[in-house]
Amino acid sequence: MMSQTVEQIGEFELIRRIRNLIKKEGVESPGVILGIGDDTASFLPRQGYELLVTCDSMVEGRHYLPEHISPFDLGRRAMAANISDIGAMGGRPLYGLISLGLKSDTELAYVEEMYRGFIAELNPFGACIIGGNLTTSGNGLFIDITLLGEVEMGKGVQRSTAKPGDVILVTGYPGESGAGLQLLSLSSSRPELKAHPLIKAYLSPAHKAGEGAAVGHTEFATAMIDTSDGFLGDLGHICEESGVGVLLFAEKFPVSENLKRAAEILGKEPLALFMSDSDDYELIITCSRNHVAEIRSAIASSFPGPVSEVGRVTEREKGIRLVKADGSEEEIRARGWDHFSDGCIR
């Protein structure tokens, strides 16, 4: 039996079913005064905490290909992008508002699985969905999420406060998700690539929000950002907002064996993939050399992967420079993902 479509059940029945699903499978937050069901939601902020607000969109054909991703993973991926932004400020997510643009023939089961993906990412934080909006979309599905979070007063970590002399740390293995997307584009003609672990890294990225909050609590990070625009692009954001330059050491870049194997398949250099556009949601952190051990310890409490020292912060006029394996230096340009560029898929 085929699933009903959103056109067949109508907007208000769809809202009712979404509301019931959230009530059944989501969590209840004690801070919510009024959730789904009225013109607005309301909640009570905690005393001594700042509110954080972020929003992010995913558009069919621009940010994902529906034939390559399940609705559950699509929901997870869309929510993870927002959770990562909250975590990169040292905060934790609280409340989500989700707006969907749906084609009239979208199946109800597809929508419900997306919401299960949203909920799967929010539940571990005790966070919940408190509202949103539904509309029709003739050109494909889109997801727009506004996520609210909190951080202790004065403990938010910004991208604008790095200082010359700071060490640059990065978690995990940036570049894997972007390489996974490139492998995915080849998988139609090479089906064996669908089992490659980096395709999974692209379809189901893992954020570091818990680790970001732990770093924030140390109060030792001078700046922090996630790598949703790629390692080099987001490091460039720190440089621009902090008014600094950086010196990077290619030999210290954490390049995984999976990325090396992907580079061979793609005919590219592993370091190029490491520095390319890639929404991996790893963390770039700057801190005093005296506090590297404390930062690593805070992250290790929940993340077993590497925290690599890849460079140091310099004065703005020195720009972004890369020290190659042979000791020579090259000035490089920070360029991350651009939604208005000619690239077709992220």
SS3 assignment, position 25:
helix
The sheet with strand 307-315 has its strands ordered as 221-226, 283-287, 167-171, 307-315, 244-249, 320-323, 329-331
Contact at 8 Å (CB) between 246 and 164?
no
- Show the CA angle centred on residue 157, arms to residues 93 and 121, nearest 5°: 20
| 43-101 pLDDT per residue, tens | 999 999 999 999 999 998 888 888 889 999 999 999 999 999 999 999 999 999 999 99
| 203-224 pLDDT per residue, tens | 998 999 999 999 999 999 999 9
pLDDT score of 65: 83
Exposed, middle or buried: residue 340 (CB in 10 Å: 0-12, 13-18, 19+)?
Answer: exposed
pLDDT score of 140: 87
- Show the CA angle centred on residue 46, arms to residues 41 and 49, nearest 5°: 115
Average per-residue pLDDT in the chain? 92
Rounded CA separation 318/320 (Å): 7
107-116 average pLDDT score = 96
Tell me which fold the domain 167-331 belongs to: Phosphoribosyl-aminoimidazole Synthetase; Chain A, domain 2 (3.90.650)
DSSP, residue by residue, 182-215:
HHHHHTTT-GGGGG-HHHHHHHS----HHHHHHH
pLDDT score of 177: 93
**pTM for the whole thing?**
0.93
Helix, strand, coil tally for the chain in percent (to 5): 40, 25, 35
Domain boundaries, the chain: 6-152, 167-331
189-201 average pLDDT score = 89
Exposed, middle or buried: residue 2 (CB in 10 Å: 0-12, 13-18, 19+)?
Answer: exposed
Contact at 8 Å (CB) between 268 and 70?
no
Contact at 8 Å (CB) between 142 and 109?
no
| 299-342 pLDDT per residue, tens | 999 999 999 999 999 999 999 999 998 989 999 987 654 544 55
| 235-294 pLDDT per residue, tens | 999 999 999 999 999 999 999 999 999 999 999 999 999 998 888 999 999 999 999 999
Contact at 8 Å (CB) between 139 and 59?
no
| 159-177 pLDDT per residue, tens | 999 999 999 999 999 999 9
**Contacts with 206 (C-beta within 8 Å, 6 or more apart), sequence order:** 80, 281
| 61-72 pLDDT per residue, tens | 888 888 889 999
pLDDT score of 61: 81
The pLDDT > 70 percentage for the chain reads 96
Give residue 170's identity as a one-letter amino acid code: V
Give residue 128's identity as a one-letter amino acid code: C
Q: Domain 6-152: give its CATH superfamily.
A: PurM-like, N-terminal domain (3.30.1330.10)
Residue 184, φ and ψ in degrees, nearest 5 = -60, -35
Alpha-carbon Rg for the chain in angstroms: 21
